[in-house]
Structure 1
Amino acid sequence: MTQRLVATILLTAIGTVAIAKTPVATGTGGAVATISEQASQSAMAILNRGGNAIDAAVAAAATLGVTDPFSCGIGGGGFMVVYLAREKRVIAIDHRETAPAAFTPAVFLDNGKEMDFETVVASGQSIGVPGTVRGWDEALRRYGTMSFKDVLAPAIDVASRGFTVTANFSRLVDGNTEKFRRFPATAALYLKDGKALPPGTLLKNPDLARTYRTLARGGAKAFYEGPLARAIVDAARRPATAPGMTVPGGTMTLADLADYEARIRQPVRGTYRGYELYGMPLPSSGGVTAFEALNILEGWNLKALPRAQAEHLYLEASRLAFADRNAYLADPEYTDAPVAGLLSKEYAAQRRKTIDPARAAAGPVPAGDPYPFQQDASVPLRPATAKLQQESAHTTHLAVSDSQGNIVSYTFTIESWGGSGIVVPGHGFLLNNEMTDFDFSGPAPNVPEAGKRPRSSMAPTIALKDGRPAFTIGSPGGATIITTVLQTIVNHVDLGMRMDQAVDAPRLSERNGAATDVEPGFAGSAQATALAPFAQRWSNQPEEIGAANALVFNQDGTVTAVSEGHRHGTGSALVQKKAH
């Protein structure tokens, strides 16, 4: 196929003629759900050209780097869970950012005291070695059918021709103007006269289009070595700032970039009411924590309980699982976490006994002791309960399937909205602030160390039933990712909601804190009133929680793609052939 013909196909698929954006679609063949209409269309263009789910997922992700640059991009990292239909197995691709080789556990301490979190975020100190490009390369080479040149073409088109700034996009910029003003390359791209680009603006990113073309020609090597690598290192070590402003530089080197490796890992596996669940293993805590909470919940017949009591039990199970997460989980190459014990059904039964079915815990609870359930004769140290580290809530998730039955559940990020705030000059993408996912002080399993991957909460999940794909689920939202995935599974499996209802339902996020995070409008609602007798406490600063995407594989052979119905400006679900 000639380049001109390819370009024509792509222009037709994601051109200026708007396709009605819908958060739910059912049909046959391939399917995609993302938070961005252009990203979903990019994935569909690749599927229509004969690409598989892995090819389409990378195409969607690259486009999200254009249209949702404050959540994700090639300056960050992520976790991809893949179901390979022919082999009937699930694999996980870890391309989480790593700490530069100069990092020590004291890197975020100043005279023994923790540095100011927001100061570290908007600096070179927060930038980890980006893993996204290496992760895409591993996915395509091992499991895809297309090259970078093929799958980056839709994103190049969107970056070159531009897209219309939405109200949500403008709002996100407005909330970050102070950070973006510090860096001229960022301000030039996303601000106008020092203010957020207004809705309706046609935003082009020719620098990012050129960067993607560089990757299309040179592959991952062009990112991790050579001129682009030097530009990344320069931006991290010596951030170019506006006159009169200075920010600390980082320690990343060319060797750090050249040495970066993605990891192909065995997924973490759980079971719940007849489903086999596959999620991301450490250094993501998402799969382990969600599956532990489900193990705890499995001891109750939630379907037979009033909804308020079922939700109370969900909140308390989440509280216990987060206590264990904070105490034990970190990069498995640095910490011997007791995963087998945490996922033991017997351990869950013990933890379940600590829950009062009629009343919420008075506050944070201590971690349990999973080591006796490890079947391990050693006597490891029992870590003390750790506090919940601040974790930014800004990421993106997508889901793709193809007509052969392959599935991708993929969450990736640059951490805070806009990451570090530093656009690599001349290259059009933001660098992450992922190093702030480490605990700033210890002792703790998640303290900074050279080459270490900070603990994550990303939880891309694939569920099978009777050996066949049943559904996928994932979300952004920092530590609330885990509760969004957990609550959506409970809504769908236990409370009998259709997946779109499960996704759209009000979210409650209990992470072993003093109060449960809720969304605007929840306090005072009928649902909140029904939970009042259980002494649950709500945060007084409600915020939108997550932006989930899911696929459901129906018994009649159709697939339903589901995105958000109202959060984040509404998502985009597409299928190759719509069901009638």
Structure 2
Amino acid sequence: MNRLLTPSVKQHFIFLIFVSFVFSNPVIASNSETPPQSAIASAHPLATQAGIKILQQGGNAFDAAITVASVLAVVEPYSSGFGGGGFWLIHDAKQQRNVFIDGRETAPQKAHPKLYQNNQNEVIRSLSINGPLAAGIPGQAAALAHLAKHYGNLPLSTTLSDAIHYAEQGFPVDKVYRKLAAYRLKAMQEERTTNAIFLVDGKIPELDHLIKQPALAQTLKRLAKAGHTGFYQGETAQYLVKNMTDHGGIWTLEDLANYQVIERAPIEFDYQGYHFISAPPPSAGGIALAQMFGMLQHHTMPQHQSVEQIQLLAEVMRRAYRDRAEYLGDPAFTDIPSKLTSSSYLQQLSNSITPNKATPSSELKPVLPPNQGTDTTHYSILDDQGNRVSATLSINLPFGSAYTDPDTGLLLNNEMDDFSSQPGVPNSYGLVATEANAVEAGKRPLSSMTPTFIESPDSLAILGTPGGSRIITMVFLGALEHLNQAPVENWVSRPRFHHQYLPDVIQHEPETFSSAEKKQLERHGYKLKPVGRTYGNMQAILWNLKEKKVTAASDPRRIGNSLTLNH
């Protein structure tokens, strides 16, 4: 049976979405076994170590998830933070239940479709990128409070303690910090509080310089003491609304007081003996993965990289991203067609793929081109009871909107740029979108964040990555490595390429293709666009049930760290 439930309901209704389509018999990892080790893989060593310490103190995976997320929020201000949001895919071992916790930002009530346009209906890009007007109502604090209240064993005062410590005492600047600060330096220099905290005399700090955030530490203490209301009401909320209003923002106290996380049913599907559990809308990730694997079901794919394999993968990517552009958005505002994951529709898409020939995007059913930003973070956790978490968090572009609230220390997101400021006008990630992802009060912007579990009788995989519009294809390629029985280190280090329908090019990392492959792909009609750098930061865990062994790996492209803990 194929069904996608998409009622048009408003913001705070708990919307459950479930996709079930079967390419083979459903296969799920054994429920009776528990892992021989716990494991954490995150984007920063301090966060991984703090999470392991929580597990040693008797916390479960959900407690560790709070700690890891909060420490990342402090030591990765360029990627995540309490001024942003994210998605938490969790498995509750006691209840044998998978839940998707949506802590995505929402548009303020004063937002409207022409918020970022001038009187001539022209998009003013800077308004959705820099400063308070670019920020959606953040969801990370609400999500962590929700995890603590409903799933954790420990109080927030314990699980937030390391984050508070690093905010008060400081964390050392590393090479990733310097690189991403350079990307957003001008915007950071123009915001007084951001300049004072995250730069030194208006310049990028030297390696090992300590970044201290005392105002943020006080905000975290209020959250630790009062939970959800300690952030969304009272002193923190009052500071945020006053300061943002003074600087051109449109938040209200009601926007903050009304924010709630939403628990959703994940996207679930089966492919060749593996059961996938992934992100539902407002993420495009789960549906896009379901479509890409659904199309592959109708083709014989070479096991090892070849021009034939590259072409097939690029074509299924192209078609999934075309549908992303037209159909996907916040399910409380957008009716998402059930056909997108139906066998007949995926067969139809598969039939349109011609071997050894590129299908120009212009030849597919036309759609106005969607948008998305590049910095985000991810972590994966498995505990000794079999609880697990795959979480992807973001403030959108590096250092978000570059606006730091002086009284709360919150560096705010610029996730409003993930909406379509105007149909057909690309966002910061070159994605295009239709009215399905237009700016609207209370709406959650479409995302590519794709936290994922993959189950089989022999294994359990936990994976995800940051990377803007390329997140889905990175998870897709990492999953294919797992399906080919490659070790977890291969998933995170695999050379990457990406097609997102528009622009009609295959983007790729350096050294992904050989000279011969490049020439042959170009002869087949593909345009190749080197990204000029590596991208992504995958964090992954593999529980091999057959060998009774847990392994974890962090992407070698950055400074992430993975640790296992023996019981």
- TM norm structure 2: 0.88
The one-letter code of the counterpart of 1:41 is: Q
Report the alpha carbon displacement of residue 398 of structure 1 after superposing the two structures with TM.
Answer: 0.5
What residue in structure 1 maps to residue 501 of structure 2?
Answer: 512
The one-letter code of the counterpart of 1:154 is: D
Q: How does 1:563-574 map to 2 (within 5 A)?
A: 563-565=554-556, 567-568=557-558, 570-574=559-563
Report the alpha carbon displacement of residue 481 of structure 1 after superposing the two structures with TM.
Answer: 0.5
Report the alpha carbon displacement of residue 532 of structure 1 after superposing the two structures with TM.
Answer: 4.6
Report the alpha carbon displacement of residue 531 of structure 1 after superposing the two structures with TM.
Answer: 4.3
What SS is found at the alignment partner of 2:529?
Answer: coil
The one-letter code of the counterpart of 1:136 is: L
Q: How does 1:173-322 map to 2 (within 5 A)?
A: 173-239=181-247, 249-303=248-302, 307-322=306-321
The one-letter code of the counterpart of 2:446 is: R
Report the alpha carbon displacement of residue 170 of structure 1 after superposing the two structures with TM.
Answer: 1.2
Structure 1 residues 34 and 504, CA gap change in structure 2 (3 angstroms): same
Contact 1:40 1:572 in 2 (8 A): yes
What residue in structure 1 maps to residue 119 of structure 2?
Answer: 111
Residue 491 (structure 1) aligned with residue 487 (structure 2) = no
What SS is found at the alignment partner of 1:352?
Answer: helix
> Partners of 2:367 and 2:96 in 1: how far apart?
39
Identity %: 33
What residue in structure 2 maps to residue 334 of structure 1?
Answer: 333
Residue 500 (structure 1) aligned with residue 481 (structure 2) = no
> Partners of 1:47 and 1:252 in 2: how far apart?
37
Report the alpha carbon displacement of residue 173 of structure 1 after superposing the two structures with TM.
Answer: 1.2
Residue 441 (structure 1) aligned with residue 422 (structure 2) = yes
Structure 1 residues 117 and 523, CA gap change in structure 2 (3 angstroms): farther
Report the alpha carbon displacement of residue 572 of structure 1 after superposing the two structures with TM.
Answer: 0.3
> Partners of 1:365 and 1:488 in 2: how far apart?
29
Residue 459 (structure 1) aligned with residue 467 (structure 2) = no
> Partners of 1:345 and 1:238 in 2: how far apart?
53
What SS is found at the alignment partner of 2:437?
Answer: coil
> Partners of 1:516 and 1:161 in 2: how far apart?
44
Report the alpha carbon displacement of residue 543 of structure 1 after superposing the two structures with TM.
Answer: 3.5
Structure 1 residues 230 and 366, CA gap change in structure 2 (3 angstroms): farther
Report the alpha carbon displacement of residue 528 of structure 1 after superposing the two structures with TM.
Answer: 3.8
> Partners of 2:63 and 2:120 in 1: how far apart?
47
Contact 1:462 1:469 in 2 (8 A): no
- TM norm structure 1: 0.86
Report the alpha carbon displacement of residue 307 of structure 1 after superposing the two structures with TM.
Answer: 3.1
Contact 2:117 2:124 in 1 (8 A): no
Compare 251-260 and 547-556 and name the one that shifted more: 547-556
Contact 2:116 2:127 in 1 (8 A): no
The one-letter code of the counterpart of 2:326 is: A
What residue in structure 1 maps to residue 396 of structure 2?
Answer: 415
What SS is found at the alignment partner of 1:113?
Answer: coil
What SS is found at the alignment partner of 1:302?
Answer: coil
> Partners of 1:45 and 1:61 in 2: how far apart?
14
Contact 2:281 2:328 in 1 (8 A): yes
The one-letter code of the counterpart of 1:139 is: L
The one-letter code of the counterpart of 2:403 is: I
Q: Pick from 431, 446, 451 the counterpart of residue 412 of structure 2.
A: 431
Structure 1 residues 30 and 530, CA gap change in structure 2 (3 angstroms): farther
Q: Pick from 526, 542, 546 the counterpart of residue 552 of structure 1.
A: 542
> Partners of 1:447 and 1:262 in 2: how far apart?
21
What residue in structure 2 maps to residue 87 of structure 1?
Answer: 95
The one-letter code of the counterpart of 2:132 is: G
Q: How does 1:512-551 map to 2 (within 5 A)?
A: 512-513=501-502, 514-522=504-512, 525=515, 528=518, 531-551=521-541
Report the alpha carbon displacement of residue 159 of structure 1 after superposing the two structures with TM.
Answer: 2.2
> Partners of 2:343 and 2:390 in 1: how far apart?
26
Structure 1 residues 109 and 522, CA gap change in structure 2 (3 angstroms): same
The one-letter code of the counterpart of 2:561 is: S
The Cα offsets for residues 475-534 of structure 1, whole Å up to 9 and x where unpaired, read as 11111111111111123214x432211221111011012212112344665654564554
The one-letter code of the counterpart of 1:219 is: G
The one-letter code of the counterpart of 1:573 is: S
Unaligned runs of 5+ in 1: 1-26, 240-248, 368-383
Compare 525-534 and 80-89 and name the one that shifted more: 525-534
What residue in structure 2 maps to residue 375 of structure 1?
Answer: none
> Partners of 2:66 and 2:204 in 1: how far apart?
29
What residue in structure 1 maps to residue 158 of structure 2?
Answer: 150
What residue in structure 1 maps to residue 375 of structure 2?
Answer: 394
Compare 496-505 and 269-278 and name the one that shifted more: 496-505
What SS is found at the alignment partner of 2:375?
Answer: coil
The one-letter code of the counterpart of 1:404 is: Q
Residue 47 (structure 1) aligned with residue 46 (structure 2) = no
Structure 1 residues 363 and 456, CA gap change in structure 2 (3 angstroms): same
Contact 1:235 1:422 in 2 (8 A): no
The one-letter code of the counterpart of 1:454 is: P
> Partners of 2:96 and 2:363 in 1: how far apart?
40
> Partners of 1:119 and 1:101 in 2: how far apart?
17
> Partners of 2:460 and 2:306 in 1: how far apart?
24
Q: Pick from 320, 342, 346 the counterpart of residue 348 of structure 1.
A: 346
> Partners of 1:571 and 1:525 in 2: how far apart?
31
The Cα offsets for residues 369-392 of structure 1, whole Å up to 9 and x where unpaired, read as xxxxxxxxxxxxxxx613032x11
What SS is found at the alignment partner of 2:194?
Answer: helix
Structure 1 residues 366 and 402, CA gap change in structure 2 (3 angstroms): same
Structure 1 residues 470 and 534, CA gap change in structure 2 (3 angstroms): farther
> Partners of 1:520 and 1:189 in 2: how far apart?
35
Contact 1:33 1:574 in 2 (8 A): yes
The one-letter code of the counterpart of 2:274 is: Y
The one-letter code of the counterpart of 1:220 is: H
What SS is found at the alignment partner of 1:110?
Answer: coil
The one-letter code of the counterpart of 1:552 is: L
Contact 1:167 1:198 in 2 (8 A): no
Report the alpha carbon displacement of residue 109 of structure 1 after superposing the two structures with TM.
Answer: 1.8
> Partners of 1:304 and 1:504 in 2: how far apart?
17
Structure 1 residues 234 and 366, CA gap change in structure 2 (3 angstroms): farther
Report the alpha carbon displacement of residue 365 of structure 1 after superposing the two structures with TM.
Answer: 5.0
The Cα offsets for residues 76-116 of structure 1, whole Å up to 9 and x where unpaired, read as 11111001112222111001111111112221221242323
